[in-house]
Amino acid sequence: MRGPGPTPRSSRARVRGATIAAFVALAPLLPAAAVAVGTLKVDASLPYVCTLPSGQQPATVRITAAFPERAVPGEEIRPTDVTTTVELPAPAVADLTALKASTVRAETLLTVGAGQNGQRTEASWRGTAQPLGVPAEGPLTLTTSGDVPTLTTDAAGDLTLTAGGLAVDLAPSTADGAPTTPASLSVTCVPGQDAGDRALLATVPVGSGTPSPEPSGPPSSSATPESPSPGPHVPRPPLPTGLDAPPRSGTTRGTGEVPTVPRSGARKDRGLTAADEPGAPAARPAAPPCVTEKPTPTSLSAYITGYSNVRKLNGANVIPVSCVQIEQGQPEFVVLPDGSMHLFQTSTGNLSHGGRRQTPPFKATFLTFGFAPTTATLVLEQAGPMTVTSDVLLVFPDNLAETYIRVPLVLRVLDVQVNGTRLDVGPSCRTEKPLSSPEPTPAKYPGDHLVLLGKGQLLNGTDATGYLLTSGGPLTGEVTIPAFKDCGAGGENLDRLLTASISGPGNHIKQIQGQTCSVGVETPPPDQCTEDRQPLVVPKPAR
């Protein structure tokens, strides 16, 4: 995402960029689902057409999954054993070898249409794959797997699931483990014209298994309360401020009224531990204090947690639940020269723990040099301002959102034990400069800082998927850990030991932000905030 000032680029590129978001599993997309009697196995091999840097190329996509054989209204339908295998043609390999890529990591996002009784919604099936060697020539076959949404319906009738568009996000690395330039390659694929009926993955009878003779109307949601019968919907509580409240109307170069931006709400797609079901009592888990001392009407607070890989040590550590306090900027509606309509917003934020701009201390345990168990107590300290830049591309009926979070963070080492023996690292052991990520606009955002990207989609009349500032979601990035300095005591210099063990590029980060609490409003929403105005939702880390 770019900053608040618009930079022209084509709407096609924007749509392609947003559709490759690394979405986590969604909330139930149809109202309440099914109990299975037996298992329906799916193994479909479909022709697709993929857009590569070298142009459009044919590809084969194989989808496997297992569904309940039948269901009754009000019970869950949970797809299991889901894999997506993409065989990209030789030109894809040529595109990667041109970047001097030796290995590649892949993430996929398959859009699956869910239909019942004339109504339709969409689910996002996300998958990830382990790093794979890039062949010298020939096709590249990638197999991903992951969690997918649970479906529910409270109506009888056949529930159909149909394969749709596929986005493949490739992260190539060179032989020495460094990211290539550019650090990612985005591929979008659509079913080929001859896919035909083969795109229908499964039909699950619900109730009697007989479809209703008449469609039951448009998707039911808070936007269509007059709908008399159940249908696909996701309830969506209102946003507190910010992107939920664009100008009602306005003109830019005579373009007319500003479209309404759909509201986002809390979803069951991020491993949240607060109560998910409507009307259920909120059970907030233990979490560090997150109190905003002098809130304004645009103040938000949220918890964030996740994993960070240490590539040299072939492991990952949990970054603990941390408090983030945010001041939202004023949304700005802009029409770019290509005619695309955007809502830009720049906000600022700070980590907060014990009155300092940092995470709580956390322990990380690895096998140093492959054999010595090492435990370190670490803290991430904020070394400069945090900026949050959001861009919502307004495209009816979808609104595609990208959010970049930029923050300079220094990694400080408080304590180290190697094989049970304490190493005195002294009081000032830290990275010599902030962690750094590939920056898409370095002229605008110079210097070393972490970059996390969240992508989301707001479907008119439904809830949001992916990441939005107010409703949270997954944020991902790559980071280089700099060399260490001032490590050691009593004349012993441990800088080289820590640098050789930990420092280096290509460390993947995935953070999960919980739904924000509107701290400064007169009556904070009870589904967002505790009684003392702290975030209610405490996320769980997800790999």
What are the sequence ranges of the domains in the chain? 28-204, 242-518
CATH classification of 28-204 is 2.60.40, yes or no?
yes
Token representation of residue 84: 């997506």
pLDDT score for 472: 92
> What confidence category does residue 6 fall into, taking pLDDT thresholds of 50, 70 and 90?
very low
Strands 132-133 and 103-116 come out as antiparallel
**Cβ atoms of 482 and 493 closer than 8 Å:** no
Looking at the whole model, is its pTM more than 0.85? no
Token representation of residue 61: 């996509």
Is the model's pLDDT at 372 over the cut of 50? yes
Q: Encode pLDDT of 271-311 as tens digits.
A: 333 333 333 344 678 899 999 988 998 999 999 999 888 77
Q: Could you please report the per-residue DSSP string of 458-505?
A: EETTS-EEE-BTTTBEEEEEEEEE--EES--STT---HHHHHHHH-EE
Strands 484-485 and 430-431 come out as antiparallel
**Cβ atoms of 409 and 394 closer than 8 Å:** no
Q: State the CB neighbour count (10 A cutoff) for residue 264.
A: 29
Is the model's pLDDT at 351 over the cut of 90? yes
**Cβ atoms of 105 and 131 closer than 8 Å:** yes
> What confidence category does residue 21 fall into, taking pLDDT thresholds of 50, 70 and 90?
very low
Residue 398's contacts (CB-CB under 8 Å, 6 or more residues apart) are 457, 458, 459, 460
Residue whose C-alpha is closest to residue 452's, from 405, 407, 411, 505: 405
Q: Encode pLDDT of 417-471 as tens digits.
A: 877 788 888 889 999 999 999 999 999 999 999 999 999 887 654 567 889 888 8
Q: Could you please report the per-residue DSSP string of 254-304?
A: T--SPPPPPP----SSS---S--STTPPP-PPP------SS--TTEEEEEE
Main-chain phi, psi angles of 16, to 5 degrees: -65, -40
pLDDT score for 542: 82
Q: Encode pLDDT of 193-244 as tens digits.
A: 888 778 899 998 887 433 333 333 322 222 222 333 333 322 222 222 233 3
